[in-house]
Amino acid sequence: MNTFRLIVSSPDGTTFDGEAVLLTVRGVAGELAVMAGHAPFVTSVVACDCKVGLADDTDRLAHTDGGLLSVAHDRVTLLSGSFHWLE
């Protein structure tokens, strides 16, 4: 499976910086999923539970209170006011 670099940052620091195959979040227009090769875009993210699909076929669940999502080539950045892993 193709991967992309995912960086998740909040005022507490960088929470995740690594390879992922999937990121699901809730944008202002509804749920969205990002995979490798996604078209570039920027959107606001609302408070939601998100899923990060890792290259080893495992998923990690987290909660964000919202922020900004940027997708550019094979790099995805989520800037969040708060991001906490749920496990």
Query: pLDDT per residue over 29-51, tens digit each?
Result: 999 999 999 999 999 999 999 99
Average pLDDT over residues 50-78: 96
What was the pLDDT predicted at 46?
97
Kindly tell me if the per-residue pLDDT of 66 is higher than 90.
yes
How far is the CA of 51 from the CAs of 20, 34, 86, in angstroms? Answer: 10, 10, 10
Residue ranges per domain, the chain?
4-85
What was the pLDDT predicted at 1?
78
- pTM for the model stands at 0.93
CATH tag for 4-85 (out of 2.60.15.10, 3.30.70.270, 3.30.2270.10, 3.40.190.10) = 2.60.15.10
